[in-house]
Structure 1
Amino acid sequence: MLLLTSLYEFWTSAAGNTPLEWVAVVTGFACVWLAARESLWNFPVAIVSCGLYISVYHSAQLYSDRNLQGVFIALSLYGWYEWLYGGTRRSALVVTRTRPGEWVGIGVGIVAFTTLSGYYLGHYTDAALPYWDSFTTAGSLAAQYLLVRKRLENWLLWILVDIIYVPILWYKELYPTSGLYAVYLILAGYGYVEWRRAARAAAAPAIPAA
C-alpha cells in the first residue's frame, strides 16, 4: 500500500508539471537520439528544446542551467555549420578522438567556471545548489563543444553530467526532466558505442579499388 501511495503521489506531481516542460522533454530526447545517430537534424531540434528549457529552468531557480540554454542554442547553430563544412577542404566532419590539449583546456575551464559561477550564484542570487548547478553547466558546455567538433569522448562527459543531473532535477521536483536525464544516460552509452564504431571506420585506411 505504501508503494502504491508513493507511486500515485509521484504521478500526480509529475502530471502537474507544466505542458512546456513535457514538450521540452520530448524534444530533448529527440535531439540526443538524433545526435547519437549522427543525424544533422539534432541541431534544429536542440534549438527548440533549449528555447523551452530557458523558461523551465528559470522557474526552478536553476539560473546557471537557464543561461546555459542560450549558449547551447549558439553552439547548435555553430555545430550545424561545422558538421556540414568543418572537415578537410570544407567537407563534412568525421568522428575523431579528443586531443590532449583539448582535455587540458576543458579541465581548467570546468574548474574555473564552477568556482566563479558557484560563488556568484551562491552570494548574489537565490539559486538552488549553486556549485552543483555551475558544475553541471560547465560539464555540459564542455560536452557540447566536443559534440560540435565530433569528438568521441563527448559522450563520456555527458554520462558524468547526466549522473549528477538526475538527483538535482528530482530534488527540484522536475520529475519529467529528471526521468529524461536518466534516459539520456542510456542514450549517451549508445552514442558512445555508435561513435566509436564510426571513429574506427574513419581512421581505417582506404582500400584501393581493384
Structure 2
Amino acid sequence: MQELLQGITTGLRQMTWIDITAVFFAVLSVLCSRQNSVWVYPTGIISTALIVYAYVQPAVGLYGEAALNVYYFTMSVYGWYHWTHKDRRNQEVEISRTDRRELGIATGIALIGWGIIYLVLHRFSDSNVPVLDAFVSSTAWSGMWLLAKRKLENWIFLNISNLVAVPLLFYKAQPLYAFLTIFLFIVAVNGYFHWLKLYRLQPNENKP
C-alpha cells in the first residue's frame, strides 16, 4: 500500500500541462456522451490526441493504450459524421439497441483485437503488461465502435475496459489517468441508464 501511495504521489508531481489538458477534455467528452450530445466527438478528438502523445513517452510506455486512443481519434471522426448524418426522414441517427449481428461483431473485435494487440506488444514493444494493456484496448475498441453507431450497449463494453484499466494505470504510476478512468466508470454506469431512458422515450420503436 505504501508503494502504491508513493507511486500516486510521484505521478501527480510529474503531471504536465498536456496531461491536465487531456484530462479536462476527456471529462468534457464523457459528460457530453452521457448527455447524448454530439460534442462528445470534438472534445474527444482533442483529448485523445494529447493522450497518445503522453502514453508513447518512453517513461510511460503504454503502447496499447496509445494505439487505443489512435482508434478513439479515428472513431470520433467517424462517429461525428454518423451522428450528424441525416436518414431518409431527414433525422439524425437515434439511440438503438445492439442486435445479435452487431453484438457478434463487437465481441469479435474485443477477442480478436485482444490477441492481435497482445502479440504486437509482446513481440515488438518493451511493454511489461501486454496482456492487460491489450485487453483494455480491445474491449474499448468494441465500445467505441458501438458508441459511434449510437448503440446503448457501448457503455457495457467501455466499462469492462475501465474496470481493468484502473489498476493497470495505478501500476504504471499514472494516477491522474487512473482517477479519470474511475470517473469515466461512474459516468458510464449513469450514462447507460440515462441512454436507456432516452431510448424508451423515442417514438416509433419496438422496445423491450
Q: Considering the TM-score relative to the shorter chain, is it more than 0.5? A: yes
Alpha-carbon deviations, 1:133-186, whole Å to 9, x = none?
A: 111111111101111111001111111111111000111111100000000111
Once the 2 structures are TM-superposed, how far is the Cα of residue 68 of structure 1 from its aligned partner?
2.0
Partner of residue 41, structure 1: 39
Structure with the largest fraction of helix: 1
Partner of residue 25, structure 1: 23
Partner of residue 12, structure 2: 14
What letter matches 1:94 in structure 2? E
**What number of residue pairs does the alignment pair up?**
203
Partner of residue 149, structure 1: 149
**d(CA) in 1 for partners of 2:117, 2:6:** 38
**d(CA) in 2 for partners of 1:95, 1:50:** 24
Once the 2 structures are TM-superposed, how far is the Cα of residue 57 of structure 1 from its aligned partner?
1.1
Alpha-carbon deviations, 1:33-91, whole Å to 9, x = none?
A: 11100111111000000000111111211112212222211211111111111544452
Q: Any gaps of 5 or more consecutive residues in structure 2?
A: none
**d(CA) in 2 for partners of 1:86, 1:178:** 37
Partner of residue 167, structure 2: 167
Bigger shift: 70-79 or 137-146?
70-79
| Greater Cα radius of gyration, structure 1 or 2 | 1
**d(CA) in 1 for partners of 2:192, 2:10:** 35
Partner of residue 122, structure 2: 122
Once the 2 structures are TM-superposed, how far is the Cα of residue 108 of structure 1 from its aligned partner?
2.0
Once the 2 structures are TM-superposed, how far is the Cα of residue 12 of structure 1 from its aligned partner?
5.2
Partner of residue 55, structure 2: 57
User: What CA RMSD, in Å, does the superposition of the two structures yield over aligned residues?
Assistant: 2.1
Identity %: 24
**d(CA) in 2 for partners of 1:76, 1:8:** 35
Once the 2 structures are TM-superposed, how far is the Cα of residue 203 of structure 1 from its aligned partner?
4.8
From the superposition, tell whether residues 22 and 28 of structure 1 become closer, same or farther in structure 2 (CA, over 3 Å): same
TM-score by length of 2: 0.89
Partner of residue 135, structure 1: 135
Once the 2 structures are TM-superposed, how far is the Cα of residue 193 of structure 1 from its aligned partner?
1.1
Work out whether residues 152 and 192 of structure 2, in 8 Å CA contact, stay in contact via their aligned partners in 1. yes
Alpha-carbon deviations, 1:97-118, whole Å to 9, x = none?
A: 0010111112222211111220
2:95 paired with 1:95? yes
**d(CA) in 1 for partners of 2:111, 2:139:** 10
2:66 paired with 1:66? yes
Partner of residue 196, structure 1: 196
Once the 2 structures are TM-superposed, how far is the Cα of residue 8 of structure 1 from its aligned partner?
7.9
Work out whether residues 62 and 128 of structure 1, in 8 Å CA contact, stay in contact via their aligned partners in 2. no
TM-score by length of 1: 0.89
From the superposition, tell whether residues 84 and 137 of structure 1 become closer, same or farther in structure 2 (CA, over 3 Å): same
Q: Any gaps of 5 or more consecutive residues in structure 1?
A: 206-210
Once the 2 structures are TM-superposed, how far is the Cα of residue 128 of structure 1 from its aligned partner?
3.0
Partner of residue 110, structure 1: 110
Partner of residue 208, structure 1: none
**d(CA) in 2 for partners of 1:160, 1:121:** 21
